[in-house]
Amino acid sequence: MIALNRASRWYGQVIGVNDISCRIGPGLTALLGPNGAGKSTLMKMITGQLRPTTGHVLAFGERTFANARVLRRLGYCPEIETSYEDMTGRQFVSMLGVMAGVPTSALQKRTEEVLDTVRMSQWADRRIGGYSKGMRQRVKIAQAIIHDPELLVLDEPLNGLDPVGRREMTDLFVRLAGSGRCVIVSSHILYEVEQMTHSIILMDRGRLRAIGDVYQIRALIDAHPHRVAIQTERSRDLAKRLLDLSYVLSVRLSQDDPTQLEVETRMPDLFYDDLPRIVLRDGFLITGLDSPDNNLEAVFRYLVKG
Amino acid sequence: MTAPQAGAEKQVTDAAAVAPIADLSYRHYDGPLKDRKLRWWIVALVGVRWAMKRWWFWLLFLLSSASYGFWALMLFVESRLGPDFRQMMFQSAKDERFATVLFRSYDGSLFWLMVMALVVGAPSIAADNRTNALQVYLSKPLTKADYLLGKWAGVFTVVFAATLLPSLFLYAYCMLSFWSEGFFRNEPWLILRVLGVAAMSAAGFASLFVGVSAWCRSTMMSAAIGAGLYLASGIMAFILWMALHIRELEAGHPAAGALLQNASISGVLKSMAWNIYGVTIRFPMRGPNMPDGLTLHPPNVWVMGAAYSGIVILGLMAARFRVRAVEVVSG
Amino acid sequence: MTIATTTDLSVRYGRKPALIDLSIVVPEGSVGLLGPNGAGKTTLLKTWLGFLPPHAGSATVLGMDSASDSLKIRQRVGLMPELDCHIPGMTAVSYVAYAGELCGMPGNHAMRRAHEVLEYCGLGEARYRQVETYSTGMRQRIKLAQALVHGPRLLLLDEPTNGLDPEGRDEMLRLVRDISHDKGLHVIVCSHLLPDVEDTCDEVIVLREGQVVTQGSVESLRRTSGVQVDVELREASEAFCAAAERGGAKVVSRLGSRCRLALPDGTTDPAREVLAMAAASGAQVRAIRRARRSLEDVFMEAMA
């Protein structure tokens, strides 16, 4: 649905986005990167607020910049605070629904539906000026989905929400993505992103570092072989057995916890196939087996130089 | 090797034997913690230091001191050229000569003093509003009163010093050059008047500009509003004065409506200074209604005093009201 | 020693009750204060610091009464506010030293201590720059520094990782963990990010609509009943679940290639059982972890 072709954007000397080419299809994709990586610039280009200095940014096959046809099918929930302090929540969502092209006949019904989805029906008639951070966030999400867009771009959408709200909104995004829409979520809270999706776009200093499935990406990071943490009483004995395996690169015993070992290998599949055999044959009592860096946080850490 | 040196070396070696690598992790602070008495002065000092570091502050100080230098020069020239020169400038009663000069210097410095007070006073609370600094202040053992007093005192101290120092310079010059002409003998309490004017002036400006500052979220706005109030009140007073007293003025009474003429902020401050110095100024112009020249007395002290108090109280209340509304832990 | 307490505390905003007959005792160490928006967490913090008078009951902090000794409390407590805030027009060192002086530290002590604290918070060279030029991550650290400078006994952290990118969050959490353990400093963390609280706190207090819903150590709240393990396979496998059930285990939950099994009570070697089930069904096991309820589950249950 979204295609970037060698898109770049700079502000004077400062590079925002540097030569990015990628495609983003339906489903939930997470946009990640440290502060200053260019995520907001990228999102602004996708939502038609900025024109790429070079290259193209296309959505639904058309260029996005100031393109009403694209904007009609797109919902954006920015990170900035709302500033319509004197409007009520209902008025605000309604107004943005009109601007997004919701027909008048359906406007009221849609406004109510959407306010109900974000659980703001109870407070919709209060001034936005009196809203807490979480309430403002919900209203922002409401305005992004009121016109039922096919493409949803969400910048830190869970900011200010309490744990119940976070779960509700996460489920909402996953649901929306599951029904064929393209949902892009940008967030710094990696463990939440992990629960939403495996599909990521990682940026750093304006450049694209990685795009795709997080576990595939992890497997491809050569510099950091697969690590397996095993907890067992007879850690040294197990260590000796494991070192017999040719594809095990190293076995490290933890300094703080004598029952903890850490194995490094480039062939995780072979390792996981052989391990049960060793454990069951020699009667090792394993109290824990885990892969501490086979997750999003590790991918982030390894790929971003910061 | 002398004994103390050997002892010191041994101490270091002992320490090294126990823990050669220093532990730089977090340590507690177990030192002294003073109580609250002068907490507000710490806030004030920050304001004062901030002003003193800015080059434009010193430029404004020079500009506002220029008036005093001018009048010192006038005194010098007058003393050389004699009484005829005096006739050209103005007359004062014999024992009011130096007070008059001090008053005229103050009057001349007022505009630049206002600018200086504005640039120091405008950001006092407005800058804090912009960066939410009040959350930091109030999470410390500081009451809102300490904060306000500190901010006010910062502006007060700067303006007080800026008014007092050149006045003292002029005073000292007069004392040194005109002692024999009855400088101290005629007006022994003059130094108190000098201090009084400086304090009055500083308090007025501090209250006004800190009051305005409390209501703004940016220094620019605060400065604009402060300057606007000051200048607008001047223009309004002038227009009203002209409108209501035009006939009298045309008929040759230039002193008519003195109260209204001084019904601006600058006018009030000037009038208060005039009253504190208590001088009568005579201009040797001749006119149909002025056989002895134009004599100007200080405007009514009660009216002006009330107006001055009004400015100070309104300013302080404005600041107190606004700062009250902020909360430390936001929801 | 109790760090902070409330006794039958009721606090109102006008007519609206915010805290109702609240009685809690905050233990030593690192405590998380949780609750949905509007539960009263911020009201509680404000009451402890003396900004809100109790309608009924009382609150104490470090043995001092909140209503009458508010200033003394603030001298012994450090607050890291949620929103972006700093004193304008100063370098980091001056700012932190000033914060110290406002707490009553003499000038030279404040300056020395400011350097020490900024070093601890990881602001090396940047300490001589104006605070206005700082990035979000640095601003959060400076907020922490100004809360620590006067050597408080209790630290109140309101959303300490607000606005930080993943690297910044890791470092802030590391700092919070470091400072709340073995340094004689007690910490209360308010956050909506439950894994952050899991990471840094030993105890939690959960509020809802002005009252306490749950309180306890993170360890005990997270304990599951019986022998439960989380198993992660290389790919989702029906055969494995079937083998598990045959082996006497119950599949508590499944999500993709992960599942939680409840093994029969008294199972001494859960890993062996799991590996046997995997061998029987041809699945490849990638992780076996003792199952713990997540703090999120605890929270959701408390809200229900």
User: B17-26 burial, b for 16+ CB within 10 Å, e for fewer?
Assistant: eeeeeeeeeb
Q: Amino acid letter at A115?
A: L
Q: What are the tens digits of pLDDT across the range A254-267?
A: 888 889 999 999 88
* Residues A172 and A235 both lie in one domain: no
Q: Which fold has domain C4-221?
A: Rossmann fold (3.40.50)
- In chain B (331 residues long), the average pLDDT of successive 10-residue segments reads 58 65 79 82 93 92 92 84 63 75 91 94 92 89 91 96 94 85 78 93 95 92 94 91 81 73 88 88 69 76 90 92 63 38
| Among the listed residues B156, B190, B154, B160, the one whose alpha carbon sits nearest the alpha carbon of residue B172 | B190
Write out residues 135-174 of B within 8 Å (CB-CB) of C.
135-143
Q: Does the ipTM exceed 0.90?
A: no
Q: Which residues pair with C235 in a beta bridge?
A: none
Establish if C266 touches chain B: CB-CB under 8 angstroms. Answer: no
Q: Which chains touch B (3 or more CB pairs under 8 A)?
A: C
* Residues A145 and A176 both lie in one domain: yes
Supply the pTM of this predicted model: 0.86
Task: Tell me how far apart the alpha carbons of residues C283 and B11 are, in angstroms, rounded to a whole number.
Answer: 66
Provide the 3-class DSSP secondary structure of residue C259: strand
- Here the tokens at position B244 are 């209501």
Number of domains in chain B: 1
Q: What are the tens digits of pLDDT across the range C222-241?
A: 888 888 899 988 888 888 98
**Is residue B33 included in any domain, yes or no?**
no
Whether residues B25 and C178 touch (CB distance < 8 A) is answered with yes
What average pLDDT is seen over chain A?
A: 90
* Residues A27 and A159 both lie in one domain: yes
Any idea which residue has 């949905």 for tokens? C36
Q: Residue A258, Cβ neighbours under 10 Å: how many?
A: 11
Q: What are the tens digits of pLDDT across the range B67-97?
A: 999 988 888 888 887 666 665 556 666 677 7
Provide the 3-class DSSP secondary structure of residue A259: coil
Predicted local distance difference test score (pLDDT) of residue B330? 45
Which domain covers residue B181, as residue numbers? 40-324
Residues of C in contact with B29 (CB under 8 A): 105, 109, 113, 149-151
Q: Which of C45, C89, C151 sits opposite B30 (nearest CB)?
A: C151
Question: Is residue A108 within 8 Å of residue A53, measured between CB atoms?
Answer: no
CA distance B44 to chain C (A): 11
Which domain covers residue A268, as residue numbers? 221-303
Domain-terminating residue out of A195, A214, A233: A214
Establish if C245 touches chain A: CB-CB under 8 angstroms. Answer: no
* Residues A61 and A127 both lie in one domain: yes
* Residues A210 and A239 both lie in one domain: no
Establish if B189 touches chain C: CB-CB under 8 angstroms. Answer: no
Q: What are the tens digits of pLDDT across the range A63-89?
A: 999 888 898 899 999 988 767 888 898
State yes or no: pLDDT of A222 exceeds 80: no
Residues of B in contact with C186 (CB under 8 A): none
**Is residue B34 included in any domain, yes or no?**
no
CATH of the domain at A238: 3.30.70.100
Predicted local distance difference test score (pLDDT) of residue B326? 52
* Residues A282 and A209 both lie in one domain: no
Establish if A167 touches chain C: CB-CB under 8 angstroms. Answer: yes
Establish if C172 touches chain A: CB-CB under 8 angstroms. Answer: no
Predicted local distance difference test score (pLDDT) of residue B86? 60
Write out residues 180-199 of A within 8 Å (CB-CB) of C.
188-191
CA distance C22 to chain A (A): 21
Interface test with C, best of B29, B125, B138 (most C CBs within 10 A): B29
State yes or no: pLDDT of A277 exceeds 70: yes
State yes or no: pLDDT of A306 exceeds 70: no
Ordered alpha helix ranges (H), chain A: 39-46, 68-72, 89-100, 104-117, 133-145, 163-178, 190-196, 214-220, 235-243, 268-282, 296-303
Q: What are the tens digits of pLDDT across the range C89-101?
A: 899 999 999 999 9
**Is residue B96 included in any domain, yes or no?**
yes
Q: Where are the domains of chain C?
A: 4-221, 224-293
Establish if B28 touches chain C: CB-CB under 8 angstroms. Answer: yes
Whether residues A285 and C272 touch (CB distance < 8 A) is answered with yes
* Residues A97 and A201 both lie in one domain: yes
Task: Tell me how far apart the alpha carbons of residues B128 and B135 are, in angstroms, rounded to a whole number.
Answer: 9
How many CB pairs (< 8 A) connect A and C? Answer: 99
Q: Which residue of B has its CA nearest to C117?
A: B26
Task: Tell me how far apart the alpha carbons of residues B299 and B282 are, in angstroms, rounded to a whole number.
Answer: 14
State yes or no: pLDDT of A14 exceeds 70: yes
Whether residues A163 and C36 touch (CB distance < 8 A) is answered with yes
* Residues A201 and A262 both lie in one domain: no
Predicted local distance difference test score (pLDDT) of residue B90? 64
Establish if C40 touches chain B: CB-CB under 8 angstroms. Answer: no
Whether residues C79 and B328 touch (CB distance < 8 A) is answered with yes
CA distance C106 to chain A (A): 38
B265-277 and B301-324 helices, crossing angle to 10°: 130
**Is residue B174 included in any domain, yes or no?**
yes
Q: Which of C88, C178, C184 sits opposite B131 (nearest CB)?
A: C88
Predicted local distance difference test score (pLDDT) of residue A27? 93
- Spell out, as residue ranges, where chain C has pLDDT lower than 70: 1
β-bridge pairing A226-232 and A207-213: unpaired
Q: Which of C167, C168, C286 sits opposite A272 (nearest CB)?
A: C286
Helices and strands (DSSP H and E) totals, chain A: 11, 14
Q: What are the tens digits of pLDDT across the range C187-226?
A: 999 999 999 999 899 999 999 988 899 899 998 988 888 8
Number of domains in chain A: 2
Average pLDDT over residues A278-290: 89
Predicted local distance difference test score (pLDDT) of residue B331? 38
Write out residues 152-191 of C within 8 Å (CB-CB) of B.
158, 178-179, 183-185
Predicted local distance difference test score (pLDDT) of residue C227? 86
Question: Which listed CATH number (3.40.50.300, 3.30.300.130, 3.30.70.1560, 3.40.120.10) goes with C224-293?
Answer: 3.30.70.1560
